Structures are given as structure tokens and as C-alpha cells.
Structure 1
């Protein structure tokens, strides 16, 4: 049995752990019956939840096959099993639970092999999600933005090339629109209309073979396409740090069905903002206002 495999207990064994009693056939039967007779079994606080996770999910083999069985689980599966015993995370996503588990130092989430495998599985699941969108008829496109800079055109092209490569490799986009010289707070609708330098579409359409235009080209496409569009960006600032401007973008272009923020390099996850959710609760866009504010100074 591998020392890096997760092990889980059976339902009746978990019942013994829950009641803090020795695990043996008699107690399994009695405590399992207690659990089954209860209408609601709930872990009411995070300290109980941590104890439950630490005792039910182990990252090392306890060498007790009568009590534990081996099973390779993803963090999603750990989350789903745990949610059967608590409503603390009823309306939350996996990320909220894993943040709690890491903050509480739950043993399974401290195991490097478990984390490495879940990172790998997470990327695979994300790629499958993108494939699913495409199969459903979505056009999955990318957008990259670079703030004004004094570097040479060749250096700028290399930076943009790296941005495009990231969108291609992780999010499988085929078309990318680029704003080579605009600030994160600048209105999206006004970008690339005029620039200080001669940035034209032709300058960048040869990069990686998938840069097909600038911001104005993107807006033209969004207004004319009959497809549902998923726009992928790398980090919040790649689109805008003005939540209200993003809300306007979604309101004005009905084809824009969702925005995916690639934060894999930073925090190991992708965030999906769906059109209906944005329009219903625009407050969720507050995450985009991510640039540090200048400190106030007294005179």
C-alpha cells in the first residue's frame, strides 16, 4: 500500500469516530444505527469539521485494514463527502472549503503528494470544462492587455507572445485579441482607438498565429457574433481594474456569456464569472479592483 494514497473509513467506522468510541464490530453496529436513526447529523462548527476531516481522511497508511480502506480522492470528493455531515459550506464552492482546510492545517491538505495530484487533476478538469463549452457551441477567446511602456517594439512583442502562449496552453483558446498599450483603469470601449505609437493590428497578428485584432476588433466581434462567447484573461488586470466598466461591457454585449480569470500561476485556480450572475449580483466584480491604492498623506 502506497504511503501517498488516501484512506477513508466506512460509514459505520466514521460513526464510531464521531461518537469518540473504540472501533470494533459491536460499536460499529450500535453507532451506525444511531446515525441512521438521526434525522439530521451535522457538524456545527469548524473545530468539529477539522477533527472530522483529520480522522476520516488520512494521507498515510495507518496499517489497519479492518478500520480503513484505501481510496484515491480528489479535493472535490473530500468536499462532497464532508458536506454530507455539515451545512457550514452548503452554499459555498470548493475553494471556500479548501481555504478553510489549509488555514486550519487539516492534515490531508498539508500532504504534498495529495496537493500535487490535485493541482494536476484541477488543470485536467479545467481543460475538460473548456472542451465542454466548445462542444456546447461557445466561442472561447482570449484577451491580453499591456500597460504603456518605454520598451522597444520587439520587447513588447515578446511579452505579448508570452501572454498569448499562456492563454493557448492553459485555456486552449485559438483566437486572442490584444491591447498593446492601455491602462487597466482605462475604459474598455475607448481602448486602441488612438495610441501614442503606431500600434496596428498588423504588428501583432503574426504573433503565435492567433492574435486577430485589438480591443476595437473584439468589441466589433462581440456585437456581430451569434455565438455565446467565453472571454479568458490572465489575472484581473488583464481586462480591467474598474468593476463598473466590466459591468458595462457585459450589459452592452449580450453575446458575452462568461468571463474566465486565469489565476493559476498566482493561486492555482480559475474563476468563472457568468453573465446572469454578474447582472444579478455585480458586487462580485469587486475582485477586479485589485491594484493597490495610493496611500493618503496628511499635510
Structure 2
């Protein structure tokens, strides 16, 4: 995702954009009031927050991964807390470092966004890229300019993880390997506050701390929403088919099997796959129809809970009478050949 598309907006700011009005306090209040009168609808976006759209809640619930909510405006948080009898926003923010607790109704209960925690490296990276921007978003209502060291950034992350052990041990080098967005800004030596030591810091635009818990909630709920959507498909009779591919890299067969097994386990646990097919040694641009020939039987025998290769997948498509949802790991997991994917879809449709 482009760094620019990670800029956050409040729902009231998005309402101004939706109506083509200048973003200011008066317009935000009025535009948000109008949007609020659209019963059964919410203001959402798909990829770029600067392209808001009004969508029915029913449609949002059907596509929970596609449609994203905006951050609540500070005044909206106050209204929600008053409605649910929670402490006022003023009292919640007497300490600058404290978080505003945003609440939501979940299955008839109130759930606090401060209860959510980052659980893995992927979630930590997303949090870094959402909170620490390497450019000026020109949105003082949500961001503040700060000079931060990598250690400062790690300290912020530490507040939102299940356990500090889940933070990569060599945090600076890990951020470099993962191309964390804040590294786009060159670091400069600066004097650390409180002592004479000079350390490297970057000028970053940081999302206000009161919104950090909301960002964590949004990140951690992604898997929940994904599985809810997958389960709805399964309940309607759709077969969830997982597909994992391993490139022609030089590792030993035992390592290849281990990595493939990890992928298949993720397809089962995260995407609730009913059947899983693998391509143990193929390139991402290799034609699907020609993969896994001859059959890599020794590798298949070493894998658990696998239903076959790409050729067996084609056999399933030719014989099943059920609809299929194909889930592949990462963008190159299925194929980087766009035309070949079209051919796969045409092949599947020819048997419907």
C-alpha cells in the first residue's frame, strides 16, 4: 500500500470530503450531522481514505474486509462515552499519555479497544506504518510532528503488544529488512533530552496517542473479519480451497517441506480451508496447467493434510458441482501471469 494511502482521517473530516466542503470545525459538525441522518448507512472507504463513500451497514457486513471505517472524531468519542455511561473524554485525557477508550457494541456487549493487543510481526509492521508517517499529512487534528529515535518508536510499540517478547529482538535491523515506512526519513544526530548524549532521530508525523488503541483494534480485527467472511461462504455451501506454492529455490527438501507445511497450516487455521493443494517447486510465472509434472510424489508424501498438486486442483474444478473460493498465500502465491489466472477462471466456469 502506498504510504500516502495510510494517512488517517476522522469520520467528520471524511464527511467534508464527501460533500466537497472545506475541512473545518463548523463544516465537520454539519457534514457529519447530515451523514448521521442516512439511516442504516455509514461512511467508509476501500483503499484511499480520501475517497469516502456512503454504504449500507448490510453491505459493509457482507464485505467486512473491503470496507474500512474512519477514525471517530474526538467529539464523537465523547458522545459515545456519554451514551454508554463511561468516563468523560476530558477525564480520560487529563494525562497526555493516556488513551481515549473507544467503545463498540459487539454481540450485545461493550468491548474496549484498549483490550486489543498486537500478536505477531505482521501486525507490528502494520502498526508502525499506520502510526509513524515519513511525510507531512497536513492534518493537525490527528498527527503531530515529533523527533524520534528507533528506541522511542519501539517503546510505543511495547505498549500495544501481548508480550514484549513478541517484538523482534534486533528491532532496528528488523525494521530495515521489512522496509518500515519511517525509514524513508534520513536520521540525524540530535541531543537526547535530559542528558548530553547524542543519538540518531528522525522527524516523523505521529498519529496522536489517543488513537493508537483504535488502530490496534482495527489491525487485530482483520483476521476476525476475514474468518467471519470465510465462514459465511462455507455456510452457503462454498468450498474453501487453499493453494500454496514454493519457488525453485536451493533449500533442502526437508526445509521445503517444512515451509510448505507452515503455509498449509496457515491456510487451515486462518482461512479455514476445506481442501489444500500445493505446488512444491514451481516459478510464480509458470503456467498453472503445466505445473507439477512429473508429479512430486516424495514431497507430497512428506506433507500432512494436503489433497494434491495443481493438477489435482484442475481435476477438482472439472468434477465438483459446488462453488469454490480459492485462497492463495501472498500475491505471487497463485501466479504472476495475469492472463493465466484468467484462463484458470475460464476453465472453472466452463464446468458450471
TM-score range, shorter chain: 0.5 to 0.7
> Is 2:26 aligned against 1:18?
yes
**The one of 285, 288, 291 aligned to 1:191:** 291
- Do the aligned partners of 2:238 and 2:323 also contact (CA within 8 Å) in 1? yes
Give the Cα–Cα distance (whole angstroms) in 1 for the partners of residues 102 and 251 of structure 2.
53
- Do the aligned partners of 1:127 and 1:170 also contact (CA within 8 Å) in 2? yes
Give the Cα–Cα distance (whole angstroms) in 1 for the partners of residues 217 and 307 of structure 2.
36
- Do the aligned partners of 1:188 and 1:215 also contact (CA within 8 Å) in 2? yes
- Do the aligned partners of 1:230 and 1:256 also contact (CA within 8 Å) in 2? no
Using the TM superposition, give the Cα deviation of residue 252 of structure 1 relative to its aligned residue in structure 2, in angstroms. Answer: 1.2
**The one of 205, 214, 224 aligned to 2:309:** 214
Using the TM superposition, give the Cα deviation of residue 127 of structure 1 relative to its aligned residue in structure 2, in angstroms. Answer: 0.8
> Is 2:159 aligned against 1:63?
no
Deviations 1:255-280 (A, max 9, x none): 899xxxxxxxxxxxxxxxxxxxxxxx
SS of 2:273's partner is coil
- Do the aligned partners of 2:245 and 2:280 also contact (CA within 8 Å) in 1? yes
Using the TM superposition, give the Cα deviation of residue 46 of structure 1 relative to its aligned residue in structure 2, in angstroms. Answer: 5.3
Using the TM superposition, give the Cα deviation of residue 227 of structure 1 relative to its aligned residue in structure 2, in angstroms. Answer: 0.6
Count of paired positions: 191
Instruction: Normalising by structure 2, report the TM-score.
Output: 0.45
Using the TM superposition, give the Cα deviation of residue 8 of structure 1 relative to its aligned residue in structure 2, in angstroms. Answer: 9.7
Deviations 1:113-163 (A, max 9, x none): 111112222211211111111110011010011111222211110111111
**Structure 2 CA distance for partners of 1:229 and 1:70, relative to 1, 3 Å:** same
**Unaligned residue ranges in structure 1 (runs of 5+):** 1-6, 10-15, 22-27, 37-41, 75-98, 258-299
Deviations 1:161-212 (A, max 9, x none): 1111221221111321010111101111111123xxx721x532552x3211
> Is 2:324 aligned against 1:229?
yes
- Do the aligned partners of 1:58 and 1:107 also contact (CA within 8 Å) in 2? no
RMSD: 4.4
- Do the aligned partners of 1:8 and 1:70 also contact (CA within 8 Å) in 2? no
**Structure 2 CA distance for partners of 1:141 and 1:19, relative to 1, 3 Å:** closer
SS of 1:230's partner is strand
SS of 1:232's partner is strand
Name the structure where helix makes up a greater proportion of residues: 1
SS of 1:133's partner is helix
**Structure 2 CA distance for partners of 1:250 and 1:167, relative to 1, 3 Å:** same
Instruction: Normalising by structure 1, report the TM-score.
Output: 0.52
**The one of 247, 264, 268 aligned to 1:164:** 264
**Unaligned residue ranges in structure 2 (runs of 5+):** 1-9, 13-23, 38-42, 44-48, 54-70, 82-87, 93-99, 106-129, 144-206
Q: How do 1:209-288 and structure 2 match up within 5 A?
A: 209-254=304-349
- Alignment partner, residue 220 of structure 2: 120
